[in-house]
């Protein structure tokens, strides 16, 4: 009986013993580089039985039952499932995933998959960039991302656009986002993106909400833009490419001023006999005299090669641009090189990046733009009694009238102003997979961003400028350097928590960044004696940061980050700040009910909160303040050199601007991601605003930077993309984004005292900006105007304004806040289409709900502005005077609501057509033609409706360009 029981027990135990002995080993590699994958997950599907690969990509998995399915997965790769049928060795090669949910995206100090992103952020890759002869990298982004407002650059050669992420969070401090190039945060006062060749940029990643940016702590309130440059790839064939573009640019419009004949007719109607006597016989279009057809050429030569453990890439670029304003130009020669090297059995990855650029800027006298609008069109360009033949207004003694406007052509011809800017940015990154601890790695970055500059400005005897000036020797020199040094390191740890069906990612690190700036200015006094002034500034940022993220059951992702930052810009009492954020993402896509859906391909809910700071106050050592504007420039002479000084006479006790932000969002995809995008809503509060103004009521002589008040901003951002057609021969994708945003000043008290902000008369110093004045409850760009009164036909009545307080006197108390410069909404729309070898793309942008104060009209459309001058000359006017006929220019007219105009617009930024030729000798040849700034639809009467602050002065006109390009791939 006992023997039978033993036999039965053996029969029961044998299967368990057999199962326990099923051991599988193998190696996991990747297809791109055929290199081992550290930390890849190997799991028996439906169980908690799993393991991870070591630094050689090897794994051992015990207790594998027959018929079980093994799941091999890793971040950014397509998971593989293999059924176990008794194999003792299973080697797997993972392929990079084309699914956008599995795509690798950057986050602050690290990366993750798109599926696991819990914050509001957008990545724009090189395939989506705007086309054309792009000089400034910011132009690549225009219209491409919700919540990112890219205001088009002026027509000045080399000028970059203004970029705002969620409109920025500050009023007076720097509102630019933090730019991080290949791991180096740029110096805000030297964030010259033009030193990066646009052809070398692989992607922009825009971190928008505080939960994403909080890890950058004290400089992240205005958003963060991560810029990644192109690098070589391992195990890749030799690739050689050459691209050349030729462009011609013309101004799209000119300010509508009176012609010579119209001006003579007007002066004969409204002028005195003395005014009529000042008229000339010419019919000069001064704007035609100062503008020309601009030309541009861009060359790029690229070579790349990848070996088993080494990848190389280098690009040499050259840009030469002649502006539409005569004597203006921009030239850049650049190099971008990178080396990727794997060492120590591929556990160590070194990446060396070098970006170098030499810029030459030819600065034309932009005063000629305003002068061309104002100068009498009945006068000739040349006259026998003018300096070097240029016509100028002269006094009775024969000298040039110093109060009269200068000849626009003479202004251009007489100025020699050049700037040279040399920059080199070098980064060395080390990624090390620490042996013996699967999932643990170290990342270190050392970088230096060095900029050397030199500028010269001088006048020749080409116009009356020298004769009219009290300083007969208007020459100046300036040179110096700026250096930005970075050293940071972090540990990353990734592991699977099999017991709770979760994965954990941890990051902890620190960063040191030092900024140093020195410059020397050399000017000449009235006696031609040189005066040399030396300047020096430096500041240091130190940060300790950490982040934790857990993915629970591939369904709920929780993430939190913290940053402890210190800056030498503030006093020791306010030097350190703690910032942090937390967010969550619910991956509804992974629910069975949605996975089985034929309609929904991705669905994720996100939410987050964070606190960030702003310490970019423009200068260093301001906790050692100056007493008055005059002592701000106090100098001491040592030998023959002068040095600026600071004196601790006025303590301002500055501290951070602090921004707290809530964000909720949803990522969606339908019909196998034929339609996909995101929707975000946010609200943001900023306190302790940094503002330069009077320290106390009645102390107009004492100004300082101080913490003042608070703002609230809120918005909704919508991104949508549609693959209209997918096929081998024809593909068409369209995308659009729409942003609603508003901002309101909620407080203007001084710090903790709740003392009111000292106000000064309209147009004075402090918190007024002539036509705009900050006020609680108003948009910062709201206009403060007199309400114009109109007749029954809608024509403005000369000198008649609304008496708001009914005291029968029109004065500053009758001004009201009316409209605002910030638009209610802005949008972008893009289209990319290809048919066999043809391709076409375009980008539309626009904004609605904003207004501009047309200062070009306000300053000129009245009789006094034409004839009431302190000397014997006349000023031209815009042609609106023929309709409005204002007779005089009392102060209320300059602030009339008549000049506040709607600035809604739709702009076709670019349209590109291309054809790719396939040849036997070359991989490909692509020919293209691109038009930029092809049209603007708007009712705005000014030169261009797109103005950064809502106040339209005489701007450098934006041009329309036609670009022909050839791209050769060998």
Give just the sign of the alpha carbon dihedral 226, 231, 233, 234.
negative
Identify the pLDDT of residue 362: 94
Name which of 585, 605, 664 is nearest 116 in CA terms: 585
Q: Which residues pair with 390 in a beta bridge?
A: 382
Share of the chain above pLDDT 90, in %: 55
Q: Is the distance from CB of 869 to CB of 850 less than 8 angstroms?
A: no
Identify the pLDDT of residue 762: 32
Identify the pLDDT of residue 449: 95
Confidence at 612, pLDDT banded by 50, 70, 90: very high
Q: Is the distance from CB of 517 to CB of 537 less than 8 angstroms?
A: yes
* Per-residue pLDDT reduced to its tens digit, 828-850: 999 999 999 999 999 999 999 99
Dihedral through CA 855, CA 856, CA 859, CA 862, nearest 10? -120
User: Region 38-55: what's the mean pLDDT?
Assistant: 80
Stated as kind and residue range, the H or E segment containing 594 is helix 592-595
> What is the DSSP pairing of strand 178-181 with strand 224-229?
parallel
Sequence-separated (6 or more) residues with CB below 8 Å from residue 913: 838, 839, 840, 928, 929, 930
Nearest 5°: the CA angle 334, 363, 154 is: 80
Kindly report the CATH number that applies to the domain delimited by 2-94: 2.60.40.10
User: Region 180-186: what's the mean pLDDT?
Assistant: 93
Q: Is the distance from CB of 877 to CB of 866 less than 8 angstroms?
A: yes
- Tokens for 883, please give them: 């309709």
Integer CA distances (angstroms), 186 to 162, 192, 252, 448, 583, in order: 16, 9, 34, 10, 27
Sequence-separated (6 or more) residues with CB below 8 Å from residue 905: 846, 847, 936, 937, 938, 940, 945, 946
Tell whether the model's pLDDT for residue 824 goes beyond 70: yes
Q: Is the distance from CB of 961 to CB of 133 less than 8 angstroms?
A: yes
Q: Is the distance from CB of 712 to CB of 684 less than 8 angstroms?
A: yes
Q: Is the distance from CB of 225 to CB of 184 less than 8 angstroms?
A: no
Backbone angles phi and psi of 260, in degrees to 5: -60, -45
Flag the least confident range among 354-368, 506-520, 944-958: 944-958
User: Region 528-533: what's the mean pLDDT?
Assistant: 74
- d(CA 303, CA 969) in angstroms, rounded, equals 10
Is pLDDT larger for residue 949 or for residue 678? Answer: 678
Identify the pLDDT of residue 920: 76
- Tokens for 140, please give them: 């690549």
Tell whether the model's pLDDT for residue 8 goes beyond 60: no
Q: List the chain domain ranges.
A: 2-94, 104-229
* Per-residue pLDDT reduced to its tens digit, 614-668: 887 766 655 554 433 334 445 555 555 555 544 433 445 778 889 999 999 999 9
Largest Cα–Cα distance of the chain, in whole Å? 140
* Per-residue pLDDT reduced to its tens digit, 436-490: 888 899 999 999 999 999 998 888 765 666 565 555 445 788 899 999 999 999 9
Backbone angles phi and psi of 329, in degrees to 5: -170, 165
Q: Which residues pair with 845 in a beta bridge?
A: 828, 907
- Tokens for 5, please give them: 């029981």
Q: Is the distance from CB of 433 to CB of 355 less than 8 angstroms?
A: no
Identify the pLDDT of residue 623: 57
Identify the pLDDT of residue 648: 39
- d(CA 865, CA 870) in angstroms, rounded, equals 11
SS (H, E, C) 370-397: HHHHHECCCCCCECCCCHHHECCCECCC
Q: Which CATH architecture has domain 104-229?
A: Beta Complex (2.170)
Q: Which stretches of 820-878 are DSSP H helices? A: 855-858, 863-867
User: Region 387-411: what's the mean pLDDT?
Assistant: 84
Residue 555 three-state SS: coil
Is pLDDT larger for residue 969 or for residue 31? Answer: 969
Flag the least confident range among 58-72, 373-387, 517-531, 792-806: 517-531
Distance of CA 699 to the CA centre of its chain: 37
Is pLDDT larger for residue 65 or for residue 153? Answer: 65
Stated as kind and residue range, the H or E segment containing 409 is helix 408-414
Residue 572 three-state SS: helix
Is pLDDT larger for residue 882 or for residue 728? Answer: 882
How many CB atoms sit inside 10 A of residue 699's CB? 11
Tell whether the model's pLDDT for residue 757 goes beyond 70: no
- d(CA 830, CA 244) in angstroms, rounded, equals 24
- d(CA 167, CA 555) in angstroms, rounded, equals 33
- What is the pLDDT of the chain when averaged over all its residues? 85
Sequence-separated (6 or more) residues with CB below 8 Å from residue 728: none
- d(CA 726, CA 723) in angstroms, rounded, equals 7
Backbone angles phi and psi of 276, in degrees to 5: -60, -35
Identify the pLDDT of residue 345: 86
Tell whether the model's pLDDT for residue 425 goes beyond 80: yes
Identify the pLDDT of residue 387: 54
pTM of the model: 0.86
Tell whether the model's pLDDT for residue 740 goes beyond 90: yes
Q: Is the distance from CB of 582 to CB of 559 less than 8 angstroms?
A: yes
Render 20-75 in DSSP notation, one character per residue. Answer: HT--EEEEEEETTT--B-TT-EEEETTSS-EEE--TTSEEEE----TT-EEEEE-T
User: Region 786-810: what's the mean pLDDT?
Assistant: 91
Identify the pLDDT of residue 534: 81
Q: Return the half-sphere exposure (C-beta side, CA atoms, 13 A cut-off) of residue 654.
A: 29
Q: Is the distance from CB of 490 to CB of 443 less than 8 angstroms?
A: yes
* Per-residue pLDDT reduced to its tens digit, 491-510: 999 998 877 888 999 999 99
- d(CA 962, CA 688) in angstroms, rounded, equals 47
How many CB atoms sit inside 10 A of residue 474's CB? 16
Confidence at 826, pLDDT banded by 50, 70, 90: very high
Tell whether the model's pLDDT for residue 165 goes beyond 90: yes
How many CB atoms sit inside 10 A of residue 500's CB? 12
Q: Is the distance from CB of 77 to CB of 53 less than 8 angstroms?
A: no
Confidence at 968, pLDDT banded by 50, 70, 90: very high
Burial of residue 782 (number of CB atoms within 10 Å: 0-12, 13-18, 19+): buried
Tell whether the model's pLDDT for residue 686 goes beyond 90: yes
Tell whether the model's pLDDT for residue 764 goes beyond 90: no
* Per-residue pLDDT reduced to its tens digit, 535-544: 888 889 999 9
Tell whether the model's pLDDT for residue 246 goes beyond 60: yes
Residue whose token pair is 């402090």: 766
Name which of 432, 428, 425 is nearest 451 in CA terms: 425
Q: Which residues pair with 83 in a beta bridge?
A: 69
Name which of 15, 55, 8, 19 is nearest 35 in CA terms: 55
Backbone angles phi and psi of 532, in degrees to 5: -110, 130
Identify the pLDDT of residue 160: 86
Dihedral through CA 301, CA 307, CA 310, CA 315, nearest 10? 0
Identify the pLDDT of residue 99: 56
Backbone angles phi and psi of 228, in degrees to 5: -110, 125
Give just the sign of the alpha carbon dihedral 869, 874, 877, 883.
positive
Is pLDDT larger for residue 632 or for residue 813? Answer: 813
The DSSP call for residue 473 is -
Flag the least confident range among 129-138, 275-284, 459-468, 605-614: 459-468
| E strand intervals along 869-950 | 900-902, 905-917, 924-938
- d(CA 71, CA 92) in angstroms, rounded, equals 10
- Tokens for 901, please give them: 């105009």
Name which of 783, 621, 622 is nearest 692 in CA terms: 622
Q: Return the half-sphere exposure (C-beta side, CA atoms, 13 A cut-off) of residue 157.
A: 31
Backbone angles phi and psi of 460, in degrees to 5: -100, 180
Is pLDDT larger for residue 906 or for residue 160? Answer: 906
Query: Do 2-94 and 104-229 come out as alike in CATH topology?
Result: no
Render 685-725 in DSSP notation, one character per residue. Answer: EEES-EEEEESSTT-TT-EEEEEEEEEEEEEEEEEEEEEEE
């Amino acid at each position: 009986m006992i023997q039978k029981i033993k036999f039965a027990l053996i029969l029961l135990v044998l299967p368990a013993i057999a199962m326990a002995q099923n051991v599988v080993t193998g190696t996991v590699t990747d297809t791109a580089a055929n290199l081992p994958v550290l930390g890849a997950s190997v799991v028996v599907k439906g169980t908690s039985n799993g393991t991870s690969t070591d630094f050689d990509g090897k794994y051992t998995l015990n207790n594998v039952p027959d018929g079980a399915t093994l799941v091999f997965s890793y971040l950014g790769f397509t998971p593989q499932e293999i059924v176990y049928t008794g194999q003792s060795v299973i080697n797997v090669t993972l392929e990079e995933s084309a699914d956008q949910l599995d795509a690798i995206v950057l986050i602050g100090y690290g990366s993750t998959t798109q599926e696991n992103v819990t914050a509001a952020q957008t990545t724009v890759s090189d395939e989506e960039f705007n086309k054309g002869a792009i000089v400034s990298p910011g132009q690549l982004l225009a219209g491409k991302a919700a919540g990112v407002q890219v205001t088009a650059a002026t027509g000045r050669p080399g000028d970059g656009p203004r970029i705002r992420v969620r409109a920025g969070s500050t009023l007076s401090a720097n509102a630019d986002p933090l730019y991080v190039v290949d791991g180096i945060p740029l110096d805000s006062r030297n964030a010259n993106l033009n030193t990066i060749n646009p052809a070398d940029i692989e992607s922009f990643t825009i971190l928008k909400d505080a939960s994403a940016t909080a890890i950058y702590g004290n400089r992240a309130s205005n958003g963060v833009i991560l810029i990644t440059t192109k690098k070589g790839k391992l195990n890749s064939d030799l690739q050689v490419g050459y691209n050349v573009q030729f462009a011609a640019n013309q101004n799209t419009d000119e300010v509508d001023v009176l012609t010579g004949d119209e001006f003579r007719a007007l002066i004969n109607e409204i002028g005195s006999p003395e005014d009529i006597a000042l008229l000339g016989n010419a019919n000069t279009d001064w704007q035609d005299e100062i503008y020309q057809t601009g030309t541009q050429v861009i060359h790029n030569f690229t070579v790349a090669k990848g070996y088993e453990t080494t990848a190389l890439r280098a690009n040499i670029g050259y840009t030469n641009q002649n502006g539409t304003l005569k004597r203006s130009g921009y030239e850049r020669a650049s190099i971008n090189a990178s080396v990727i090297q794997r060492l120590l059995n591929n556990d160590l990855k070194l990446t060396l990046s070098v970006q170098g650029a030499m810029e030459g800027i030819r600065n034309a006298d932009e005063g000629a733009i305003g002068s061309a609008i104002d100068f009498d069109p009945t006068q000739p360009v040349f006259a026998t009694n003018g300096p070097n033949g240029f016509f100028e207004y002269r006094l009775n003694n024969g000298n040039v009238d110093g109060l009269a406007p200068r000849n626009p052509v003479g202004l251009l011809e007489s100025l020699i102003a050049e700037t040279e800017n040399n920059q080199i940015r070098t980064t060395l990154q080390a990624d090390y997979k620490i042996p013996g601890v699967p999932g643990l790695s170290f990342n270190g970055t050392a970088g230096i961003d060095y900029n050397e500059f030199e500028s010269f400005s001088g006048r020749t005897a080409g116009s009356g400028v020298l004769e009219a000036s009290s300083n007969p020797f208007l020459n100046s020199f300036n040179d110096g350097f700026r250096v930005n040094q970075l050293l940071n390191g972090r540990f990353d740890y990734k592991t699977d928590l099999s017991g709770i069906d979760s994965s954990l990612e941890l990051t902890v690190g620190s960063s040191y960044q030092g900024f140093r700036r020195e410059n020397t200015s050399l000017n000449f006094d009235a006696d031609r004696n040189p005066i040399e002034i030396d300047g020096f500034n430096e500041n240091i940022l130190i940060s300790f940061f950490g982040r934790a993220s857990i993915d629970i059951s591939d369904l709920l992702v929780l993430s939190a980050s913290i940053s402890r930052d210190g800056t030498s810009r503030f006093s020791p009492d306010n030097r350190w700040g703690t910032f942090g954020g937390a967010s969550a993402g619910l991956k509804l896509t992974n629910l069975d009910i949605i996975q089985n859906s034929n309609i929904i391909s991705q669905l994720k809910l996100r939410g987050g909160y964070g606190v960030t700071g702003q310490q970019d106050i423009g200068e260093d050592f301001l906790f050692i303040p100056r007493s008055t504007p005059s002592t701000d420039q106090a100098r001491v002479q040592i030998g023959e050199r002068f040095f600026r000084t600071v004196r601790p006479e006025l303590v301002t006790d500055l501290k951070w601007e602090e921004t707290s932000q809530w964000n909720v969002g949803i990522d969606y995809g339908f019909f196998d991601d034929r339609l996909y995008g995101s929707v975000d809503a946010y609200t943001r509060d900023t306190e302790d605003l940094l503002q330069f103004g009077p320290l106390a009521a009645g102390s107009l002589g004492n100004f300082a930077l101080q913490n003042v008040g608070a703002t609230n901003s809120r918005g909704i951002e919508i991104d949508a993309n549609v693959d209209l057609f997918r096929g081998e021969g024809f593909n068409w994708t369209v995308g659009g984004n729409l942003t609603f945003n508003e901002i309101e000043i909620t407080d203007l008290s001084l710090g903790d005292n709740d003392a009111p902000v000292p106000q000064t008369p309209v147009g004075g110093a402090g918190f007024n900006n002539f036509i705009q004045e900050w006020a609680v409850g108003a948009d910062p760009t709201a206009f403060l105007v007199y309400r114009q009164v109109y007749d029954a036909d809608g024509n403005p009545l000369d000198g008649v304004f609304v008496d708001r307080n009914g005291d029968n006197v029109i004065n500053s108390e009758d001004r009201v806040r009316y409209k605002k410069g910030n638009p209610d909404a802005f949008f972008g729309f893009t289209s990319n289409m290809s048919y066999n070898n043809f391709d076409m793309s375009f980008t539309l942008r626009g904004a609605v709900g904003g207004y501009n104060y047309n200062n070009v009209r306000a300053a000129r459309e009245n009789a006094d502005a034409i004839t009431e001058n302190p000397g014997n000359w006349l000023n031209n006017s815009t042609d609106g005077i023929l309709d409005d006929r204002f007779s005089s220019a009392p102060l209320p007219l300059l602030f009339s609501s008549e000049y506040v105009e709607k600035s809604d617009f739709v702009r076709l930024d670019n349209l590109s057509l291309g054809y790719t030729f396939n040849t036997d000798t070359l991989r490909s040849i692509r020919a293209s033609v691109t038009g930029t700034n092809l049209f603007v639809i708007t009712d705005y009467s000014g030169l261009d409706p797109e103005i950064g602050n809502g106040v339209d002065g005489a701007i450098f006109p934006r041009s329309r360009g036609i670009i022909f390009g050839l791209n050769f791939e060998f």
